[in-house]
């Protein structure tokens, strides 16, 4: 029986590709698997994308475009907190697609736009250009490092640490009782507090 003709569009293909990436990661993604999932022949995709890499680039671009920043008229601190919370939510809701977006060379204009938004918000806080760039890198390092910290917190459960003294176990239990989501918000608050304090020092100098 011939396959029923399926109307394809770039958006439909990208949505289906994201679903597959979430299941098997970018490493397990293939045009053939996508064709099977969408009920079409593999060649149907080449009317929209040059090859597998072009499709994965489009997925990465789509993921980054889902980060909708607040308007510039909003306070700088609110803009940054909302953007970083959006990054965290995206990482939690679509971990594999987020990993793909962070590991592929996407459209330079998209990346530059996000960088510019962050640096401009830091400038609006009152930082000079050099300090704004330094703070930008500090904030980005936190975003990249948080998933590693979170994975360690989840894997290093105190019941799996036999042989520790009572006091040691109590400390470990207390340290590992943190909730990652609340820790993320607290860390962002402290980082932005530091930005505000630095801006105040610069204004007083």
pLDDT in tens, 145-165: 998 888 877 665 545 555 556
Indicate whether 59 and 109 sit together in one domain: no
Residues 179, 153: Cα–Cα separation, whole Å: 9
Say what the pLDDT of residue 165 is.
Answer: 60
The CATH number that applies at residue 179 is 1.10.357.10
Query: Structural domain of residue 193, as residue ranges?
Result: 71-204
pTM of the model: 0.79
Q: Which residues of the chain have pLDDT under 50?
A: 1-2, 158
| Residue 19 structure tokens | 């679903």
Based on DSSP, count helices (H) and strands (E) in the chain, helices before strands: 9, 0
Q: Among 53, 43, 47, 69, which Cα is nearest to 17's? A: 53
Given 63, 81, 100, the domain boundary residue is 63
Residue after which a domain boundary falls, among 18, 37, 63? 63
CB 61 within 8 A of CB 107: yes
> Is 102 inside any structural domain?
yes
The answer to whether residue 106 is domain-embedded is yes
Cα 171 to Cα 168, 183, 200: the distances in Å are 5, 18, 37
Within this chain, do residues 31 and 75 fall inside the same structural domain, yes or no?
no
What are 150's two structure tokens?
């979170």
Maximum pairwise Cα distance, the chain: 78
Closest to 147 measured CA to CA, from 180, 105, 177, 190: 180
Give me the pLDDT at residue 158, please.
Answer: 47
CB 126 within 8 A of CB 202: yes
For residue 58, give the CATH number of its domain.
1.10.10.60
Tally of domains in the chain: 2
**Does residue 50 share a domain with residue 75?**
no
Of the candidates 98, 35, 28, the residue with the CA atom closest to the CA atom of residue 62: 98
Does 37 fall in a domain?
yes
Q: Is residue 2 part of a domain?
A: no
Q: Measure the CA–CA gap between 116 and 61, rounded to whole angstroms.
A: 17
Q: Which tokens in the block code for residue 62?
A: 């789509």
Q: Is residue 3 part of a domain?
A: no
């Amino acid at each position: 029986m011939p396959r029923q003709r399926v109307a394809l569009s770039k958006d439909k293909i990208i949505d289906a590709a994201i679903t597959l990436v979430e299941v098997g990661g970018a490493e397990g993604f293939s045009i053939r698997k996508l064709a099977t999932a969408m009920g079409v022949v593999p060649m149907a995709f080449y009317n929209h994308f040059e090859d597998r890499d072009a499709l994965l680039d489009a997925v990465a671009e789509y993921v980054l475009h889902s980060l909708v920043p607040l308007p510039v008229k909003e306070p700088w601190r609110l803009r940054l907190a909302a953007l970083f919370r959006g990054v965290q939510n995206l990482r939690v809701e679509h971990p594999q697609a987020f990993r793909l977006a962070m590991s592929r060379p996407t459209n330079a204009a998209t990346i530059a736009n996000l960088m510019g938004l962050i640096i401009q918000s830091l400038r609006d806080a009152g930082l000079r250009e050099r300090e704004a760039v330094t703070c930008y890198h500090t904030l980005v390092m936190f975003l990249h490092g948080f998933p590693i910290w979170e994975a360690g917190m989840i894997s290093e459960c105190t019941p799996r640490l036999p042989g520790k003294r009572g006091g040691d176990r109590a400390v470990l239990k207390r340290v590992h009782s943190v909730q990652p989501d609340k820790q993320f918000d607290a860390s962002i608050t402290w980082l932005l507090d530091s930005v505000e304090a630095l801006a105040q020092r610069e204004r007083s100098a």
